[in-house]
Each structure stands twice: as C-alpha cells, then as structure tokens.
Amino acid sequence: MRLLLAFLLLLITGCDLIPKTQLEQVQDRGVLRVLTRNSATTYYEGPYGPAGVEYDLAEGFARFLGVKLQITVPDNLSEILQDIQSGAADMAAAGLTATDERRQQFNFSSSYQRITPQLVYRIGTPAPQNLGDLHGSFEVVADSSHAERLRALQEEYPDMSFTENRELENEQLLGLVWEEVIDYTVADSNEVAFSRRFYPELRVAFDISKPQPLAWAFPPGDDHSLVDKANEYLSKQRENGHLDRLLEKYYGYVADFDYVGTRRYMQHIEQRLPRYQSWFEKAGKDTGIDWRLLAAIGYQESHWNPKAVSPTGVRGLMMLTQDTMKQLGIDKSRHDPQASIEGGARYIRRVKKRLPKRIKNPDRTWMALAAYNIGFGHLEDARILTQDDGADPDKWIEVKKYLPRLSQKKWYKKTRHGYARGQEPVRYVENIRSYYDILVWFTEREHPPRPPSPALTVESPAL
C-alpha cells in the first residue's frame, strides 16, 4: 500500500521534477530580463523616453512573448558577458558581434544587423595603411570582438600592440582619439557614423575585417527554447519590413556626414548661440519644447542670423512670414531675435497641436518640423498619399518616403494643395535632428547628467 501511494504521489507531482525551459521560466515570471549598454546604437534615455535599436527590438520581443521588459545596464561589456554566461539574465541585447569564439561560449540569435569594425584615428595623425603602421597608443574595449580580432591579427602583425580598456565604451574611446589622448581605437561602423557628428576630425583608416553580424546572446547550453522564439520574432520583423524601418529610423538621418558644415556648426554653438540661448530657453519653457530643438530649428533656418532674409519673403532668425507673426499675436519686427524665437516656438507648438492626437512622439515632432518647412497642407497631402499606398501615415519614416512625390505631377495632381518641393522637408528634418543631437551632446558635455547606477532597471508599461 505504501508503494502504491508513493507511485500515485509521483504521478501527481511528476511535472515538478521536469525542469522548466528558459522560455517557460520567462513566461511564468512575466518578465524578460535583458542586459544592454548605454550608447546611441543600443539603449539610451531620449527626450521621449527609452530609445535605441536594441531597446526597440527587445521591447518588441517582450511584447511578442506577452511579458514585461526589464532593462539592466551593467558597468561594462565584461560584466554583460559574465552575467549572460552565468544565466543571471535571460539575454543580452547590446550590439554584440557573434564571433566564432563567442559562439563557443554563448547561444546566439539570428543576425539583425551587419556592421564593419574600423580602425579610427584623428586628422593630424599620419594615416596608417595597415596595422603594422601604427605608431602610438592603441586602445580597445576589453573583451570586445575588436580585441578578439586584433589578437588573431597579431600573428600577421607581430609588432602591433594594443591595450584593453575595462573602464570605457567605444564612444568614450572615440572621444579620447579626438581629444588626442590616445592615437587609435577600433569601433563598429554604425558607432563611427554617429560619433563623427560630435567628433568631426575623426577618420577611418581601414576596416579590420569583413562585415560582421550583430545578434542577441543567450546563456550557453542545450536549451534553445528562448533562442528559437527570438529567431521566430526576428524573422517576422525582417519579413514585414519593420527591421529595415527601425534601422532607417535610427541611422538614416546620420548617413550623410558633412565635415565642413559640422565644424562650422560647432563653432557657431560657441560663438553665436550664447547671444540667443536665454531666449531659446525661455521660449522652450513657455511652450514645453526642448530649447535645444528650438535652437536647432533656428540654426537650420538662419544659422542664428537675426537679419537673414530668404527670396520668398520670410526673414529673421526663425524665418517667419509677417502674416504668421500677426496670427501669433507678435507685433514686433521679425528681425528682433527674441520676438522671432518666441514666434517660432509658438508656431511649432501650434502645428504639433493640429496633428491627430494618435500620432506619438517622436513622429509627432518630426512631422511638425516638416509642416513648419513645407506647410501643414502639403504635409497632409503626403500623409494621404502614404495612406493610399497602404503605408502608415502616422509614422515619419513612412511619410518621408512620400513627401518627394509632391514635386511629381503624376502624384501632386491628385492632392488638394498641389505641387511642393517635397524633398526639402525631408532634408530639413534630418538636418535638424543632427543639429539637435549635437547640441544635446554639447550641453551635456558641459553639464553631464548623472551616470546610471551599476544596475539601472527600467520596466516597460504593463501590457
């Protein structure tokens, strides 16, 4: 009888003796624990909340699983790799290159982006032709794929030496190259594209390998349940075009680097902006718009020249018409810089309010900027063309594809407001986004925000 009772008890509770898969653990917990890095190419706190390619993808994956997203930012890359290897988190979405050496230590998802590791130096340093030409200090992030690649290349270049930095990330090392503290570093091509806007004297000497895949890392072992689900999710993102749109959202506007324009802008930040900054700050406070965005608009419009005049009759620092100033209740001269800034801030706020409430930031801001440039009616025409073609009229990344059609008779004859130079607002918005990013970097460099704690955790809203 005792044996029979023991057998029945085993049948009833036997399910508890079978360990749960990683996927089941995440679903039971209701939380996907993700490790990442603070950087422009992974995760950061933007003006409209958490942002970054890795953040957006990870949040989408959490929603795909029906759980909350929990983001944790360890101190450095080494900690991320250690925590994933020990199973302290479910996955790492941190811009990790899936190298052969790492594949022996972790499970990886399929790739969602390809990057190229590049050797970077500063103008003034002799441009090296290969790794044997390096003469000076050379630092890379410790335990990075770059260090792994360089160790492999030391057989070909035995005189090449480098230091693995355990304190700084790629973006900080790029800054040290620009400041001439070190002579060389290696960074991924997407990071270089972002950073050259802030450090315009940086140059790429050469690639140190062919393009490499970025992927999510998971704890090692035979349990591939969560990896398989991640691959299913990433496959859907590729098939429905969301992945391409996401990469365009974060990288599209930084593709064209203008050294002369960037250097001139940074000089104007130091030389011209101080005259008008207090007025931008006041206008930002009055309208609830980041003063640095208002300043970026002003720079795009006039290069912060209060006497600027365009052939179309708009004038002043924010390039407004006389009728617009009157409608906004401002009776001062458009050449009065304070009045112009006040008018520009009120106008952009008015345009944002006219957009449908369902359009969320940052799309709402980018569309308002486009309307500031081309007119609200033409923006609405482009949104209608977008919708008629089956795309989303509430997403800037979609609408900006259709704005150029307003200059083509085939398309503008179907619209209410007719012809417009539709390519201009696209370039206009992309320029302002870059000016804004640089100004944010510039101001936070002067007054840096508090650094995140070693284990900064952010939870997504409840589903």
Residue type, 462: A
Spatial contact of 147 and 81, defined as CB atoms under 8 Å apart: no
Q: What is the pLDDT of residue 32?
A: 97
Q: Output the CA–CA distances (angstroms, integers) from residue 96 to 108, 146, 235, 247, in the order listed.
A: 10, 11, 18, 16
Query: Residue ranges of the alpha helices (H) in 218-272?
Result: 225-239, 242-251, 259-271
Rounded distance between C-alpha atoms, residue 204 and residue 127, angstroms? 9
- What does the block give as tokens for 57? 């993808």
Q: Among the CATH numbers 1.10.530.10, 1.10.10.10, 3.40.50.720, 3.40.30.10, which is that of 259-446?
A: 1.10.530.10
Spatial contact of 351 and 372, defined as CB atoms under 8 Å apart: yes
Q: What is the pLDDT of residue 45?
A: 83
Rounded distance between C-alpha atoms, residue 143 and residue 310, angstroms? 54
Domain boundaries, the chain: 18-114+214-253, 117-209, 259-446
Task: For 173-213, write each residue's pLDDT tens digit.
Answer: 999 999 999 999 999 999 998 888 889 999 999 999 999 99
Burial zone of 285 (CB within 10 Å; 0-12 exposed, 13-18 middle, 19+ buried): exposed
CA atoms within 13 A on the CB side of 106: 30
Spatial contact of 218 and 108, defined as CB atoms under 8 Å apart: yes
To 5 degrees, how large is the angle CA 446–CA 173–CA 50?
65
Regarding beta strands 49-51 and 44-46, do their DSSP bridges make them parallel or antiparallel, or are they unpaired? antiparallel
Q: What is the pLDDT of residue 250?
A: 87
Rounded distance between C-alpha atoms, residue 197 and residue 259, angstroms? 8
The residue whose two tokens read 């400041």 is 179
The neighbour count for residue 135, using CB atoms within 10 Å, is 11
Q: What is the pLDDT of residue 11?
A: 55
- What does the block give as tokens for 111? 């790739």
Spatial contact of 146 and 96, defined as CB atoms under 8 Å apart: no
To 5 degrees, how large is the angle CA 422–CA 435–CA 245?
55
Q: What is the pLDDT of residue 462?
A: 37
- What does the block give as tokens for 76? 């450095």
Burial 294-311 (b: 16+ CB within 10 A, else e): bbbbbbbbbebbbebeee
Q: Output the CA–CA distances (angstroms, integers) from residue 282 to 33, 321, 342, 372, in the order listed.
A: 41, 22, 8, 20
Spatial contact of 208 and 99, defined as CB atoms under 8 Å apart: no
Spatial contact of 120 and 203, defined as CB atoms under 8 Å apart: yes
3-state SS class at 340: helix
Q: Decide whether 18-114+214-253 matches 259-446 in CATH topology.
A: no
Q: Which are the catalytic amino acids?
A: 301
Q: What is the pLDDT of residue 450?
A: 46
Q: Which fold has domain 117-209?
A: D-Maltodextrin-Binding Protein; domain 2 (3.40.190)
- Global pTM value: 0.80
- Pick out the chain residues at pLDDT < 50: 449-455, 461-463
Spatial contact of 381 and 374, defined as CB atoms under 8 Å apart: no
Class assignment of domain 18-114+214-253? alpha beta
